[in-house]
């Protein structure tokens, strides 16, 4: 009995079990809920080497001139897989491990031609799921088998994935130890083109897939972002042990991050080069040189895609950061010259710009804040504030964290003009509107250095002294303009040990005689005994609790409002002189209108009364016309303004318990 069984097995192995072709097709078709064919229609005319053959000794060894795995009934694709001249070897230990849930290892696979049609619908159904049971969302990622020996002379793969928004067609070949792969299509509505070449992928002696470093080059374009790579990979089929030098460029950092699911800010044009390493699903990137517009940055980052939310961590440094290059981060479009130059629209009509408005109204991408977590230390040598009239920050250090949709910049420490800016701010993007709050402090900023206004060589600065203060503000909205228009809180600042241009004070008070005197003898600096601005913000409207500047010559008192909601000004400045002047047209100064078109005017009432009085007196005596223009000063009023200012400074300077 045993000998007869052995004889049957021996004959079957020698013949290749040809009579099992049809039963095996039927069994596999039933198990996979689709048509599976293991032989060619013209197999009767095929040679012995081309016919169906199956062996079980030492593992499963299948040879067939044509293998067709059909698509499920719901799919419009002609098949899942169609391969010619197929040889497949599977070890029993690998089948057992796959049955236990491990990734399948294929001992050997060879095909002269291969055509794969992979498709996944939005509801999770996929053509590669060889089961009649309905798929349950979310689906695990597709597991690619590992190979001992692999050779495909000519392969075509069409991959459509609705959840990932992928529709690409690729052509590949793996022969003579060389892997060639090219693909074109769309990813997340962006055009995609990929060319990859890996050498020494197969062992020259056994033909098995090598697990040691193989040279790899890559040139990929996704949308307007382009990536090139020159390095090596330990496992070219799974991109494990991936390392080498790269370059990447695009119209924005966001354009570079979107294809790989990394949340990066919208910026000016971006280009970078450095080193990248991928091991065990973790990407390590070292940026040797990165340019964003005119900014020059560097850094080192780690990106881990595993877990519920991807995590980006590392450090960002650099020699120079220009804030204009990050303008789109806060909703402007000024830092996108490529887009603006190519747009047929006027600048005021570009996205993010509202005609007649100056505050950025471009909506935030709040969903992007929830797509990834981040933990990045920032240390930049210089931050340019995008104006030659202000000294840059040197350096700027901060800790950026993005956790569950909340972006926080804490431990802020920036230095400028011998002074310091510290504090924190956060943007909560978990809801339909962003919630913003900030607590910022500045101290000992030397105004004569920080504010750069050209003056004659022997003229003093327009204003000097050490500026200190604090801002605690909150706001909400879907854009920077929305947040600014809802600001609530308080801003307070003061100048100590400073001075102000004598000419500016006299001109503001319309003291013609003294202004002319200053011009003739050259401008000088009036010491500031006090300068304080204390403003309340309610609903985006700032109103001074007190805003006064007190000098030895005059006291300047400012009231009114500044509305970020309406983008309008209505401020009134009153100068109280402390001395006598023979010729003045003194009248309160008004600043009104919109941010886009402000107007500086004088209150007409006081001037009209003075001129009318001078005209009437001139009818009596020409010399009497000077009388209304004489200003004896109001030392008491000026003193009261100054005393109130100094009391406020002492109050805020006192330690709080």
Q: What is the mean pLDDT of residues 428-437?
A: 90
Flag the least confident range among 505-509, 550-554, 568-572. Answer: 505-509
Residue 656 confidence class, pLDDT cut points 50, 70, 90: very low
Report whether pLDDT(149) > 90.
no
DSSP secondary structure code for residue 483 in this structure: H
Q: What are the tens digits of pLDDT across the range 588-615?
A: 677 788 877 778 766 555 544 444 444 4
- Token readout for 190 is 């962006």
Residue of 323, 331, 327, 325 whose CA lies nearest to 364: 331
The confidence score (pLDDT) of residue 244 equals 93
Q: What are the tens digits of pLDDT across the range 326-340?
A: 654 544 444 333 333
Evaluate whether 285 touches 267 at the Cβ level (below 8 Å).
Answer: no
The confidence score (pLDDT) of residue 657 equals 41
Report whether pLDDT(78) > 80.
yes
Flag the least confident range among 429-443, 593-607, 643-657. Answer: 643-657
Q: What are the tens digits of pLDDT across the range 88-102?
A: 888 889 878 877 767
Report whether pLDDT(196) > 50.
yes
* Paired residues of 161 in beta bridges: 120, 166
Higher per-residue confidence, 520 vs 508:
508
Flag the least confident range among 64-68, 209-213, 253-257, 638-642. Answer: 638-642
Q: Distance (Å, rounded) from C-alpha 20 to C-alpha 140?
A: 34
Q: Distance (Å, rounded) from C-alpha 534 to C-alpha 536?
A: 7
> Could you tell me where the DSSP H helices lie in 325-365?
337-342
Higher per-residue confidence, 345 vs 389:
389
Flag the least confident range among 287-301, 316-330, 443-457, 513-527. Answer: 513-527
Flag the least confident range among 318-322, 342-346, 354-358, 360-364. Answer: 342-346
Q: How many CB atoms lie within 10 A of CB 457?
A: 4
Flag the least confident range among 76-80, 136-140, 576-580. Answer: 136-140
Question: What does the chain come to in residues?
Answer: 657
Q: Which residues contact 575 (CB under 8 A, 6 or more apart)?
A: 505, 508, 509, 510, 554, 555, 556, 586, 589
The confidence score (pLDDT) of residue 31 equals 75
Q: Distance (Å, rounded) from C-alpha 244 to C-alpha 218?
A: 11
- Token readout for 503 is 């000419």
Q: Enter the pTM of the model.
A: 0.69
Residue 170 confidence class, pLDDT cut points 50, 70, 90: very high
The confidence score (pLDDT) of residue 333 equals 44
The confidence score (pLDDT) of residue 41 equals 55
What average pLDDT does the chain have? Answer: 76
* Ordered DSSP codes for 435-457: EEEEEEEEEEEEHHHHB-----T
The confidence score (pLDDT) of residue 107 equals 84
Report whether pLDDT(541) > 90.
yes
Q: What are phi and psi of 10, to 5 degrees?
A: -60, -45
Residue of 179, 120, 195 whose CA lies nearest to 147: 179
Q: Say if strands 60-69 and 295-304 run parallel, antiparallel, or are unpaired.
A: unpaired
The confidence score (pLDDT) of residue 203 equals 64
Higher per-residue confidence, 275 vs 333:
275
Flag the least confident range among 31-45, 475-489, 549-563. Answer: 31-45
- Token readout for 75 is 């799919």
Most confident of 226-235, 436-445, 612-621, 641-650: 436-445
Residue 195 confidence class, pLDDT cut points 50, 70, 90: very high
Q: What is the mean pLDDT of residues 356-374?
A: 77
Q: Distance (Å, rounded) from C-alpha 484 to C-alpha 423?
A: 19
Residue 537 confidence class, pLDDT cut points 50, 70, 90: very high
The confidence score (pLDDT) of residue 108 equals 84
What helix, strand, coil percent values describe the chain, rounded to 5?
20, 45, 30
* Distance set, CA 87 to CA 82, 128, 238 (Å): 13, 20, 22
């Amino acid at each position: 009995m045993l000998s007869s069984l052995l004889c049957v097995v021996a004959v079957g192995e020698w013949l290749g079990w040809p009579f099992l072709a049809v039963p095996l097709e039927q069994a596999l078709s039933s198990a996979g809920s689709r048509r599976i064919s293991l032989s060619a229609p013209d197999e009767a005319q095929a040679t012995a080497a081309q016919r169906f053959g199956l062996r079980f000794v030492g593992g499963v060894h299948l040879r067939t001139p044509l293998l067709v795995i059909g698509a499920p009934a719901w799919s419009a694709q002609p098949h899942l897989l169609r391969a010619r001249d197929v040889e497949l070897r599977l070890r029993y230990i690998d089948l057992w491990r796959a049955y236990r849930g491990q990734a399948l290892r294929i001992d050997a696979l060879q095909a002269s031609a291969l055509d794969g049609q992979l498709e996944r619908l939005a509801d999770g159904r996929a053509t590669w799921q060889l089961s009649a049971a309905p798929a349950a969302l979310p689906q695990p990622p597709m597991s690619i088998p590992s190979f001992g020996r692999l050779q495909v002379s000519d392969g075509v793969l069409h991959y459509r994935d609705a959840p990932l928004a992928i529709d690409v067609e690729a052509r590949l070949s793996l022969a003579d130890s060389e892997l060639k792969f090219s693909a074109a299509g769309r990813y997340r509505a962006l055009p995609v083109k990929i060319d990859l070449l890996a050498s020494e992928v197969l062992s020259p002696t056994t033909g098995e897939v090598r697990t040691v470093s193989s040279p790899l080059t890559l040139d990929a374009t996704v949308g307007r972002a382009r990536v090139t790579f020159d390095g090596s990979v330990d496992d070219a089929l799974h991109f494990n042990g991936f390392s080498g030098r790269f370059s990447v460029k695009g119209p924005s950092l966001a354009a570079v991050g979107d294809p790989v699911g990394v949340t990066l800010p919208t910026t000016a044009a971006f280009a970078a080069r450095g080193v990248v390493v991928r091991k065990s699903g973790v990407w390590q990137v070292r940026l040797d040189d990165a340019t964003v517009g005119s900014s020059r940055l560097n850094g080192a980052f780690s990106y881990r895609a595993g877990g519920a939310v991807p995590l980006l961590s590392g450090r960002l440094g650099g020699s120079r950061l220009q804030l204009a290059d990050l303008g789109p981060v806060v909703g402007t479009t000024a830092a996108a010259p490529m887009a603006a130059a190519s747009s047929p629209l006027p600048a005021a009509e570009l996205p993010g710009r509202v005609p007649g408005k100056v505050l950025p109204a471009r909506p935030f991408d709040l969903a992007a804040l929830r797509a990834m977590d981040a933990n990045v230390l920032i240390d930049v040598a210089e931050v340019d504030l995008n104006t030659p009239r202000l000294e840059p920050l040197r350096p700027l250090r901060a800790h950026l964290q993005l956790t569950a949709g909340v972006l926080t910049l804490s431990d802020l420490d920036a230095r400028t003009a011998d002074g310091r800016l510290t504090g924190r701010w956060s943007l909560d993007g978990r809801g339909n509107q962003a919630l913003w709050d900030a607590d910022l402090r500045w101290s000992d900023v030397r105004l004569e250095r920080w504010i750069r206004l050209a003056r004659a060589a022997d003229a003093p600065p327009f204003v000097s002294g050490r500026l200190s203060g604090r801002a605690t503000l909150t706001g909400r909205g879907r854009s920077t303009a929305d947040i600014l228009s809802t600001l609530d809180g308080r801003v307070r600042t003061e100048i100590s040990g400073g001075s102000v241009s004598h000419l500016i004070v006299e001109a503001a008070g319309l003291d013609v005689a003294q202004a002319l005197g200053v011009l003739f003898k050259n401008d000088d600096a009036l010491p500031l005994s006090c300068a304080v601005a204390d403003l309340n913000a309610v609903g985006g409207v700032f109103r001074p609790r007190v805003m006064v500047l007190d000098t030895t010559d005059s006291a300047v008192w400012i009231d009114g409002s500044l509305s970020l909601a309406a983008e309008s000004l209505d401020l009134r400045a009153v100068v109280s002189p402390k001395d006598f002047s023979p010729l003045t047209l003194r009248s309160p100064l008004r600043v009104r209108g919109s941010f886009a078109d402000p107007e500086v005017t004088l209150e007409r009432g006081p001037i009209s009364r003075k001129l009318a009085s001078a005209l009437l007196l001139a009818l009596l005596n020409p010399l009497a016309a000077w009388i209304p223009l004489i200003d004896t000063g109001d030392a008491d009023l000026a003193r009261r303004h100054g005393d109130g200012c100094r009391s406020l400074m002492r109050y805020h300077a006192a330690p709080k318990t």
